[in-house]
Amino acid sequence: MIIDWIKKVYLERKVANSKEAKRILEKLKGIQAEVVEGVETIKEELRFSADPVGEGKQILYLAEQKSFIRPCPCTPGCVGCGYWTIDLDLNCPLDCSYCILQRYLEGQPLTIALNRDDFKRELEAFFSQKKGKFLRIGTGELADSLALDALTENSVYLAEVFRGKPEFLLELKTKTSLLESLLGIEPVPNIILAWSLNPPAIIQSEEKRTAPLEERLRAAVKAVASGYRVAFHFDPIVHYPGWQSDYQKVIDTLLKSVPSEAIAWISLGTLRFHPNLLTIARRRFPLSPIYDHEFVISWDGKFRYPRPLRLKIYEDFIDWLAEYKAENKVYFCMESTQIWKAFLKKIKRGKRVSAFPFPWQT
């Protein structure tokens, strides 16, 4: 169990006696809990650790959060996909070598927001403000949507909040297979269950504590059988010797077991990272070979594979997906107009400034 990793719980004083806090603490019996005024106390403590990022993933902080919904920031100069994010959890107990949260949330413990009433008010305001629009929204931006679900029970809670709101697609994105709670309720048609996928070799070497590929795919099959639509993210795609046959096998296995009609979207994005992540990742994952590749510093200051290589990778992916008629489900995550333009015909859709709307909306 992922939550077995948690070695200490901190509670923000404001919410320490709340019903939600008690419910979560009940599931963490035997783990030391301490009340603090704010997150600074924990961050201060983490500073003295040899690995603040790794340590932060083992500390749970139950707190009140000020706001929850925001547009996905994307990257300046990239084609945006019109995504919105809900941040109910911050940080992730899984430990992927390429994860930007290592830099973005450095010093932030695993944080669960307990003020659901405030969240619900904000969400309802969002629903009425965006009424009539068709939007994608997800909880997997600053956390894994399901990794802490056994504690938070957020998936079922969100499912009920989104039920009956067909124009708002809620994506729950994960690298786990922790679906039990959602499979126990009446499926919600506008909930999309999504998995990030990589070949077993990459999962093994770069995605610590995540579920193996076959478990993720088994979970996806179960989700479809229960009536959910699913999505898949090949992101980051890693270039390494043997990448073509490995990724092609993943696509074959996926599309032989999940019918393409049940797939809402597939995103593609090659490995990219901010230069500051490089220092942290090299320190935390000294044996990871993925950062030794040739990169260019692209228009947004991030390291990316050279464009000729990215084009080749995307072209191969689209060809492999086309064999299963799934190529028109594709969008590129954080890619330039140059890359989009190269594939507009092949993926039979797309705009130059936005990956949205998707074909089934138009």
Partner 1 sequence: MQIKKISLKELDLEDQRFRFTLDRPDEKFIRSVKEVGIIEPIIIIPRKTYKVLVSGWKRVEAARVCRVIALPALELEEKIDDLEAFTLAFFVSYGQRQFSLAEKALAAKKFHDFGLGDRDLIGRILPHLELPPERRTLRILLELSSLGEGLEIIHRKDWKLNTAEQFLNFSDEERKWLLDLVKKLTHNEQKEIVEMFSTLRRRKNRGLKEICQEPEIASCLELFKKGRPEAGGRLLSLLRKESRPQISGLNNEMDLTIKGLRLPQKVNLEYDRTLEKSSLRLVLEVESRTELEKLLHSLTEKLRDERWQRLFEILNHKGE
State the residues that interact with partner 1 by CB under 8 A: 44, 47-50, 52, 239, 279, 283, 289, 292, 294-299, 306-309, 311-312, 315, 336, 338
In the complex, the smallest distance separating the C-beta of residue 188 from partner 1, rounded to whole angstroms, is 41
**Nearer of residues 141 and 335 to partner 1, judged by Cβ:** 335
CA 136 to chain centre: 13
Could you give the maximum distance between any two Cα atoms of the chain, in Å?
A: 58
**Nearer of residues 98 and 295 to partner 1, judged by Cβ:** 295
**Nearer of residues 30 and 76 to partner 1, judged by Cβ:** 76
**Nearer of residues 76 and 308 to partner 1, judged by Cβ:** 308
Helices (H), 98-212: 101-104, 116-129, 149-152, 154-162, 180-183, 200-206
In the complex, the smallest distance separating the C-beta of residue 350 from partner 1, rounded to whole angstroms, is 17
In the complex, the smallest distance separating the C-beta of residue 305 from partner 1, rounded to whole angstroms, is 9
Give the single-character DSSP code of 298. Answer: -
CA 4 to chain centre: 21
209 half-sphere exposure, CB direction, 13 A CA radius: 19
CA distance linking residue 237 with residue 255, whole number of Å: 18
End-to-end CA distance of the chain: 42
All residues at 6 or more sequence positions from 203 whose CB lies less than 8 Å from its CB, including other chains: 210, 212, 213
Task: Tell me the two tokens of residue 64.
Answer: 């009140």
Considering just the CA atoms, what is the radius of gyration of the chain in Å?
Answer: 20
In the complex, the smallest distance separating the C-beta of residue 254 from partner 1, rounded to whole angstroms, is 24
Alpha-carbon torsion angle 126, 129, 132, 136, nearest 10: -30
Angstrom CA distances, 166 to 133, 186, 192, 278, 301, stand at 10, 15, 11, 41, 38
In the complex, the smallest distance separating the C-beta of residue 336 from partner 1, rounded to whole angstroms, is 7
**Nearer of residues 55 and 89 to partner 1, judged by Cβ:** 55
In the complex, the smallest distance separating the C-beta of residue 110 from partner 1, rounded to whole angstroms, is 19
**Nearer of residues 100 and 217 to partner 1, judged by Cβ:** 100
In total, the chain counts a number of residues equal to: 362
In the complex, the smallest distance separating the C-beta of residue 54 from partner 1, rounded to whole angstroms, is 12
In the complex, the smallest distance separating the C-beta of residue 86 from partner 1, rounded to whole angstroms, is 30
**Nearer of residues 40 and 124 to partner 1, judged by Cβ:** 40
139 by Cβ neighbours in 10 Å (0-12 / 13-18 / 19+) ranks as buried
CA distance linking residue 20 with residue 152, whole number of Å: 9
**Nearer of residues 257 and 338 to partner 1, judged by Cβ:** 338
In the complex, the smallest distance separating the C-beta of residue 281 from partner 1, rounded to whole angstroms, is 12
**Nearer of residues 118 and 300 to partner 1, judged by Cβ:** 300
